[in-house]
Amino acid sequence: MNIPQSSYPRVVIVGGGFGGIALAKKLSKKEAQVVLLDKHNYHNFQPLLYQVSTGGLEPDSIAYPIRKVLQGYPNFFFRLAQVQEVKTDTKRIKTNIGEIFYDYLVVATGSETNFFGNKSIESKGMAMKTIPQSLNLRSLILENFEQALLTDDLHERDGLMNFVIVGGGPTGVELAGALAEIKKGILPKDYPDLDTRRAQINLVQSGDRILPAMSTQASEKAEKFLENLGVNVWKNIRVTDYDGQKVSTDSNTEFKAETLVWAAGVKAVCIKGLNAKELLCKGDRIKVNEYHQVIGVEDVFAIGDVAQMETDKFPHGHPMMAQPAIQQGRNLGDNLVRLMENKPMNPFVYKDKGSMATVGRNKAVVDMPKFRFQGVFAWFVWMFVHLYFLIGFRNRVVVFINWVYNYIRFDREARLIIRPFKKQNRVEKDTLMQD
Ligand SMILES: Cc1cc2nc3c(=O)[nH]c(=O)nc-3n(C[C@H](O)[C@H](O)[C@H](O)COP(=O)(O)OP(=O)(O)OC[C@H]3O[C@@H](n4cnc5c(N)ncnc54)[C@H](O)[C@@H]3O)c2cc1C
């Protein structure tokens, strides 16, 4: 890989997500050569992906060019590269654009959707972890409504208009709330010749409460908000299979839905060379010590979703959320400088700033370390926090204007089928039609 030689030690960061960017920012003014590798040339603000899927925001407003984040720092280099393997014995990384040597390697590859080995759900259900996946979901939702207009078969029409969202965490809750708002405010106007009141939004949660990582108060309130919006919240039910039209569960309940969104689990994105069984914990997270060092592998660190740091307070690692990734990136930045200066490193201590989820228009639930609140004020807090952490001034302005516009007009104007999406069962159907 063509990177200039430097007298500074080389820190290679794999992944320009929340953790990788926070680390790169910390190191860029220091005496280190920083090489950031990512398979995308943009940082993706995942907490707002559901708004892209539901036409509330354009994808461009939640993505930010990685090169721009660190523009003007002479020791910073970005390469668009997919990392394939880490060779810890020779301190080299293999990528699709060649090999690169590192003095220190930081893995910040995040996580991906975990279908727990269920191939039919993986191939016919929808994930929402990346911008292309969110655009696919947006297209599918709109295509299904266009399709619903074309059929006289009531059963088929219902299936096209129904949604099943699997997983009652923040992603599932926020998506269900947004879909309910669309059903209420947009679909009747867009499809006056379709009885869109029949569209069902089902949120299926295997446990006994939604938002299980938040307080019971937040769970109960969020469930109430969703029910008021007309979402069917199903608890203690596990989705077991999906054939593209019928959703099977471990109870007597079955759903007919052409759109199934799987928001029921993630697993770490692990890289070959660091995927030995003894290095990994549950969900393929890489085990690290309190300095983010991969156990037993010299000069290799992991932060964010991919890393599992087990502490007394967090025996199963920190939550797979943006804040731990950002704080770990910053801490590791300081520690790498200390390491280069032969100073002792500082152990990482996570400062829990709380968690939140929005449930449609005007409603959110917020759990802070000392306060808990729900409703309109929580919604304002939710908006402020998301705007604050969004990278890029332009993005903040665009998102803010969109939100104000959508709020006043009860609208979501990005409901566009820019790149049509063909679900696997649809493709089979089309082929049959050609026969
Ligand atoms: C829909 C959704 C909603 C969410 N909502 C919230 C929320 O409200 N609040 C919250 O705190 N958290 C939320 N999260 C979780 C949060 O986004 C993650 O915890 C956070 O992004 C983790 O940061 P990270 O730096 O570890 O990884 P990421 O931000 O995922 O970044 C990983 C980067 O690594 C790159 N990469 C991966 N593999 C390779 C490879 N082999 N080669 C090169 N590059 C690679 C990827 O392209 C990506 O840029 C949400 C997540 C999703 C999916």
Residues 191-230: tens digit of each pLDDT:
999 999 999 999 999 999 999 999 999 999 999 999 999 9
Ligand 1 atom closest to 129 (CA): 53
First to last CA, the chain: 49
Average pLDDT, the chain: 94
Q: How far is CA 365 from CA 26, 220, 235, 377, in A?
A: 32, 10, 19, 9
Residue 422 pLDDT exceeds 50: yes
pLDDT band at 410 (very low <50, low <70, confident <90, very high): confident
For residues 148 and 155, give the distance between their C-alpha atoms in angstroms, rounded to a whole number. Answer: 10
Q: Would you say 52 and 59 are in contact if contact means Cβ atoms under 8 Å apart?
A: yes
pLDDT band at 1 (very low <50, low <70, confident <90, very high): confident
Phi, psi of 105 (to 5 degrees): -120, 135
Q: How many CA atoms lie within 13 A of 150 on its CB side?
A: 6
Residue 276 pLDDT exceeds 90: no
Which tokens go with 186? Answer: 């947009």
The whole-number average pLDDT for the span 392-420 is: 91
Q: How far is CA 427 from CA 89, 424, 431, in A?
A: 46, 5, 6
Q: What pLDDT sits at residue 80?
A: 97
Q: What pLDDT sits at residue 430?
A: 41
267 ligand 1 Cβ < 6 A = no
- b or e along 141-170 (b: 16 or more beta carbons within 10 Å of the residue's beta carbon)? bbbbbebbeeeeeeebbbbbbbbbbbbbbb
Q: What pLDDT sits at residue 72?
A: 87
Residue 66 pLDDT exceeds 50: yes
172 ligand 1 Cβ < 6 A = no
Name residue, tokens 């928001």.
Answer: 263
Q: What pLDDT sits at residue 409?
A: 87
Q: What pLDDT sits at residue 251?
A: 94
165 ligand 1 Cβ < 6 A = no
Q: Helices 376-389 and 393-409 sit at what angle, rounded to 10 degrees?
A: 150
Using DSSP's 3-state secondary structure scheme, residue 143 falls into helix
Q: Would you say 159 and 258 are in contact if contact means Cβ atoms under 8 Å apart?
A: yes
For residues 234 and 277, give the distance between their C-alpha atoms in angstroms, rounded to a whole number. Answer: 36
Residue 247 pLDDT exceeds 50: yes
For residues 381 and 431, give the distance between their C-alpha atoms in angstroms, rounded to a whole number. Answer: 49
Q: What pLDDT sits at residue 329?
A: 98
The whole-number average pLDDT for the span 232-255 is: 96
Ligand 1, atom 15, lies closest to the CA of 321
Looking at the DSSP bridge assignments, the partners of residue 255 are 247
For ligand 1, pick from 66, 82, 84, 109 the residue to mutate: most ligand atoms within 8 Å of CB: 109
275 ligand 1 Cβ < 6 A = no
Phi-psi region of 167 (alpha: psi -120 to 50; beta: other; left: phi over 0): left
pLDDT in tens, 173-198: 999 999 999 999 999 999 999 999 99
The CA-CA-CA angle for residues 328, 334, 336, to 5°, reads 95
Residue 433 pLDDT exceeds 80: no
The whole-number average pLDDT for the span 163-179 is: 98
Residue 431 pLDDT exceeds 90: no
Helices (H) and strands (E) in the chain, counts: 13, 24
The whole-number average pLDDT for the span 311-322 is: 95
For residues 311 and 400, give the distance between their C-alpha atoms in angstroms, rounded to a whole number. Answer: 38
Which tokens go with 229? Answer: 């919006």
Q: How far is CA 383 from CA 53, 169, 256, 314, in A?
A: 18, 18, 34, 28
Q: Would you say 419 and 403 are in contact if contact means Cβ atoms under 8 Å apart?
A: no
The whole-number average pLDDT for the span 74-90 is: 96
66 ligand 1 Cβ < 6 A = no
Q: What is the DSSP letter of 344?
A: P
Residue % of the chain over a pLDDT of 70: 97
399 ligand 1 Cβ < 6 A = no
pLDDT in tens, 365-396: 999 999 999 999 999 999 999 999 998 889 99
20 ligand 1 Cβ < 6 A = yes
Q: What pLDDT sits at residue 425?
A: 52
For ligand 1, the distance from its centroid to the CA atom of residue 47, given in whole angstroms, is 9
For residues 410 and 434, give the distance between their C-alpha atoms in angstroms, rounded to a whole number. Answer: 41
pLDDT band at 15 (very low <50, low <70, confident <90, very high): very high
The whole-number average pLDDT for the span 101-114 is: 97
Q: H helices of 162-289, where?
A: 170-185, 187-190, 216-228
Q: What pLDDT sits at residue 183?
A: 96
Residue 428 pLDDT exceeds 60: no
Q: What pLDDT sits at residue 29?
A: 87
Neighbours of 251 (CB within 10 A): 11
Q: H helices of 6-88, where?
A: 18-27, 49-53, 66-69
For residues 175 and 261, give the distance between their C-alpha atoms in angstroms, rounded to a whole number. Answer: 9
pLDDT band at 427 (very low <50, low <70, confident <90, very high): very low
Ligand 1, atom 19, lies closest to the CA of 321
